[in-house]
Structure 1
């Protein structure tokens, strides 16, 4: 079964310094038909103005993954971590029993554009944790590169959920297939460009829920960058 989520159907928020699109219900945007997909709870596409950002705030029991698309994202947290993330960097923060962090646009002149992804953990009350790794464009070009998993395999960041996130950059004749095991489902989010997924044409910001299918097929790409989430049902 295939279910399309078009880019322009997402929730929207605009606060001057922040423009955001919400794939699932978040903040002031509420849609009972879009509360999440399996343990995948949030995909926010955020554009933050120069020198602005999210002041210190707390989280509990959530795996929070940031995927920077353009610009520089500055992170600080109550665990003592501090870094500046750029394109190719993937950050995982396990909120666990509680963590406080802030996120700012590191630049005073250019915007920062990133995805923030929340995945519900399979255990609660664990100690908070942090990890970041870099995946350059070459490592994602023409292939599905594992960037997050439950066990940190293949150099991915690890998270507390039986889920896997793959990133791919595809163009022209590139074609890939990802097999789905029994009891699994997939969510495909198109970051930019255009691509056909399981026969469905998608553009940047669009997404596809894939349930009761044996595979995810990616083809007919035009400067496409995508994320594929392999999730438990």
Structure 2
């Protein structure tokens, strides 16, 4: 997946939680082996070349492709599981894998779990009594500063995902042209219960540009967003304020 994962786990029976954490880490490595487009021998690479059928792949491949197809439908094609015409579901894999890792650890009895995959975060439970998880959103135009702080107070699960060009350059592709997305945005942060979707929606919204993205994001259930333009204009969905603190 080409990124670093970090874990913050609170509470639970230590041995059970430790075993679940180790299993989650091992599973992330396996997911990379299966889905990496940088590995010629990965199942996704072999599937794209026609060397494997979908039925011959691990069941997770079909699961991810079904989720990607749903994201493509909901975003009217602005999210795509293809890159320049070639099968490439990596735009959904990282969020899906991080969310799944968090649920595995929570299922072992942890009271609070935070899994951070390359800056995108899945939060479950709470880190302590009367203390919610909080996630800082970097200001894309002011290095070291925060554009907002998201609080998970009152939510059993919450995810925060950001897509933009500041850290990774022009890596987001416009599915309709096959070229780098030309947009007035420098970053889109989406807050939603599940990181699988938050990550997809942030990517799709960035490709759309602010004019189309804000209205589309407003139409999504259980999703709020913060958009920052190259002109240093901040635009938010109507319900985002409820998650700031």
Structure with the higher strand share, 1 or 2: 1
- TM norm structure 2: 0.29
- TM norm structure 1: 0.31
